[in-house]
Amino acid sequence: MADWNSDERLLAHVVGSADRAGLEVILIGNAAAVLHGAPVTTQDLDFFFRETPRNLQKLAVMAQELDVIITQPALPASNVRRLVGLPVDVDLLSHLSGGLRFESVRSRAVVKRVGAQAVCVASLDDLILTKRAAGRPKDLLVLPALENTRRVLAALEETDDAPPDQS
C-alpha cells in the first residue's frame, strides 16, 4: 500500500488513476471548494461522472488499479458508486442536486494543478448551486463560506482587471 501522508497526493493519485482508465471525472463537493480557496474541510472525495456501461467498465479498471472495491450505498436507488479501501471514501456521483448535467458542469469547470496532476474542478457557482439544492444541513452550513469565497475571488478578479493607477 502506498504512503498516503498527504491529502493532495491521494487526490492526485485517484485522479491520475481515473485518467489512466480513461474515465472523465469532475471534482465536486468540499474538496473542490478547498481547491477554489474556500475555508472548509472534508473527509471524502466526491466526483461527478457520466454513468454509461463503458464508463462503469472504466471505473472497474480504476478500482483495480487502486486496489479498492466498488460499493453502491443506499441501494437500489443510489446514484453513488463508492470506492472503499483508501484512507478516505471516494464517491462517484452520476447525478447532482439541482439537475446539473455533466456537460454543463464540465463547460464551467476549471483545471487546477495538484502536484503534477491536472484536476478538473467544478466551478464555485456550480458547487453553491448543488449544495443549496441538496438542502442537507451539512451543505447549508458551508454555503456562507462558499459565497464569501466567491465574493473575495470576484473582488480580486476586479482588482486584477483594473487599469494601473496613473498617479
CATH number where 55 lies: 3.30.460.40
The answer to whether the predicted template modeling score (pTM) of the entire model surpasses 0.85 is yes
Count of domains forming the chain: 1
3 pLDDT band (50/70/90 cuts)? very low
Share of the chain above pLDDT 70, in %: 91
What's the domain range around 15?
7-159
CA nearest 35: which of 122, 97, 145, 131? 122
The stretch 31-39 carries a mean pLDDT of: 96
> Is residue 18 in some structural domain?
yes
The answer to whether position 67 is within a domain reads yes
Is the residue at 166 inside a domain? no
| Rounded distance between C-alpha atoms, residue 44 and residue 31, angstroms | 8
Instruction: Give the residue from 75, 69, 56, 66 showing the smallest Cα distance to 17.
Output: 66
Is residue 21 a part of any domain in this protein?
A: yes
Mean per-residue pLDDT of the chain: 91
Pairing relation of β-strands 69-71 and 110-114? unpaired
* Per-residue confidence (pLDDT) for residue 134, from 0 to 100: 92
Residue range 65-88: mean pLDDT, rounded: 88
119 located within any domain: yes
Q: Which residues pair with 54 in a beta bridge?
A: none
Position of cell 472548509?
40
